[in-house]
């Protein structure tokens, strides 16, 4: 299969492929997603196959907004408040799915709760509207690899395995959505592109700690694997190591700086692209310390997973 690269004015080609049960990657403000109709079990199973994703890991439903969410799931008052405050945007809510919602069983992999997200990217919104129903969209990368932030990243990982990718340029946020469980007390399931502090400010209370059973099933520790080994919280590179900096500092080579000015949003935008680039230039990468506040939580989470030892397979 040759994978098409569609320009924004070819959006209807992506919509046509999706309506026919085929796979199309598209930009969101966080990372590129691999889309398929959420009501088509065969299409959803093709997503798992293309990514080589474990069948136990459920998919996020991408929707237009709150009204669709109410038709699909039972939203708690906290979920409603968060959706009103942050949708469309980099926030995913997990809520009990309603009977008759029409979601393909393989998308939920037996979970009684569905993950819902209304992406802010105009091309994502236009695509969901053109298809006329929810789209499943995991990050458009082979399972376990770094998430794509450009159409070229998608082609590098999934070219030949999907019908096409809609090119919306570089993603503005750069890390995946924050996932909040709203089945019981709101709980952080995955730190991401929306800061926990902003969410807690709307709730007026701290988020609950997710126990292991509640945590997003896909959050196994080794993920975001790069070709290079990572060493975190480093003061300086050792001989042979590339350097991933944050904030002002000396220029080693090879090096990338996530944000010379120490801006966490800029660092999130650069994280996956810089990791990809450095992994092509060095066998090992030393990473500067990054503060554990705001988007720094998501940055540290992704870096820790990328640095984790490989699981025995």
- What residues make contact with ligand TXA under the rule CB under 6 A? 28, 30-31, 33, 57-60, 92, 94, 111, 113-115, 117, 119, 137-139, 176-177, 179, 189, 216-219
Identify what 217 binds: ligand TXA, Mg ion, none; CB under 5 to 8 Å per kind: ligand TXA
Minimum distance between the CB of residue 192 and ligand TXA, rounded to whole angstroms?
Answer: 6
Identify what 72 binds: Mg ion, ligand TXA, none; CB under 5 to 8 Å per kind: none
- Concatenated DSSP letters for 30-68? SS-EEEEETT-HHHHHHHHHHHT--TTS--EEE-SSHHH
Minimum distance between the CB of residue 278 and ligand TXA, rounded to whole angstroms?
Answer: 22
Minimum distance between the CB of residue 120 and Mg ion, rounded to whole angstroms?
Answer: 18
Tokens 């966490």 correspond to 264
Q: Please state, in angstroms and rounded to a whole number, the distance separating the CA atoms of residues 47 and 24.
A: 10
Helix (H) or strand (E) holding 165: strand 164-166
Q: Please state, in angstroms and rounded to a whole number, the distance separating the CA atoms of residues 192 and 1.
A: 33
**Sign of the torsion angle spanned by Cα atoms 122, 124, 306, 95:** positive
Q: Is 28 a binder of Mg ion (CB under 5 A)? A: no
Minimum distance between the CB of residue 151 and Mg ion, rounded to whole angstroms?
Answer: 17
Task: Provide φ and ψ at 95, rounded to 5°.
Answer: -140, 155
Minimum distance between the CB of residue 33 and ligand TXA, rounded to whole angstroms?
Answer: 3
Site for Mg ion in 131-170 (CB under 5 A): 139
Closer residue to Mg ion, CB minimum distance, 47 or 63:
47
Identify what 33 binds: ligand TXA, Mg ion, none; CB under 5 to 8 Å per kind: ligand TXA
Closer residue to Mg ion, CB minimum distance, 89 or 192:
192
Closer residue to ligand TXA, CB minimum distance, 43 or 255:
43
Identify what 137 binds: ligand TXA, Mg ion, none; CB under 5 to 8 Å per kind: ligand TXA
Minimum distance between the CB of residue 241 and Mg ion, rounded to whole angstroms?
Answer: 27
Q: Please state, in angstroms and rounded to a whole number, the distance separating the CA atoms of residues 157 and 132.
A: 28
Are 280 and 232 a contacting pair, CB within 8 Å? no
Minimum distance between the CB of residue 61 and ligand TXA, rounded to whole angstroms?
Answer: 8
Closer residue to ligand TXA, CB minimum distance, 172 or 228:
172
Closest CB to ligand TXA: residue number: 218
Q: Please state, in angstroms and rounded to a whole number, the distance separating the CA atoms of residues 174 and 147.
A: 9
My answer on whether omega of the bond before 48 falls inside 30° of 0, hence cis, is: no
Calculate the alpha carbon distances from 61 to 98, 167, 210 in Å.
Answer: 14, 21, 21
Q: Which residues of the shown chain bind Mg ion in the complex (CB under 5 A)?
A: 139
């Amino acid at each position: 299969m040759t994978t098409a690269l569609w320009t924004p004015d070819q959006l209807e080609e992506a919509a046509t492929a999706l309506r026919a049960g085929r796979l199309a990657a598209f930009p969101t403000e966080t990372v590129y997603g691999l889309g398929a109709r959420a009501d088509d079990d065969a299409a959803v199973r093709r997503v798992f196959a293309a990514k080589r994703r474990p069948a136990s890991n459920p998919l996020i439903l991408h929707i237009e907004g709150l009204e669709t969410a109410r038709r699909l799931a039972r939203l708690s008052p906290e979920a409603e408040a968060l959706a009103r405050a942050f949708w469309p945007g980099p926030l995913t809510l997990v809520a009990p799915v309603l009977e008759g919602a029409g979601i393909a069983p393989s998308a939920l992999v037996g979970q009684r709760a569905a993950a819902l997200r209304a992406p802010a990217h105009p091309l994502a919104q236009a695509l969901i509207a053109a298809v006329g129903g929810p789209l499943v969209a995991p990050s458009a990368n082979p399972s376990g690899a770094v998430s794509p932030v450009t159409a070229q990243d998608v082609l590098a990982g999934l070219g030949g395995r999907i019908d096409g990718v809609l090119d919306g340029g570089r993603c503005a946020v750069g890390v995946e959505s924050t996932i909040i469980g709203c089945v019981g007390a709101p709980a952080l399931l995955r730190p991401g592109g929306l800061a926990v502090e902003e969410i807690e400010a709307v709730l007026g209370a701290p988020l609950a700690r997710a126990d292991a059973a509640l945590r997003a099933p896909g959050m196994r520790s080794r993920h975001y694997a790069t070709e290079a080994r990572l060493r975190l919280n480093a003061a300086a590179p050792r001989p042979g190591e590339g350097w991933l900096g944050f904030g002002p500092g000396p220029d080693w080579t090879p090096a990338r700086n996530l944000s010379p000015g120490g801006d966490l949003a800029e660092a999130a935008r650069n994280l996956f692209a810089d990791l990809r680039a450095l992994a092509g230039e060095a066998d090992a990468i030393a990473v500067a310390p990054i503060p554990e506040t705001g988007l720094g939580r998501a940055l540290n989470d992704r870096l820790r997973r990328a640095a984790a030892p490989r699981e025995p397979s």
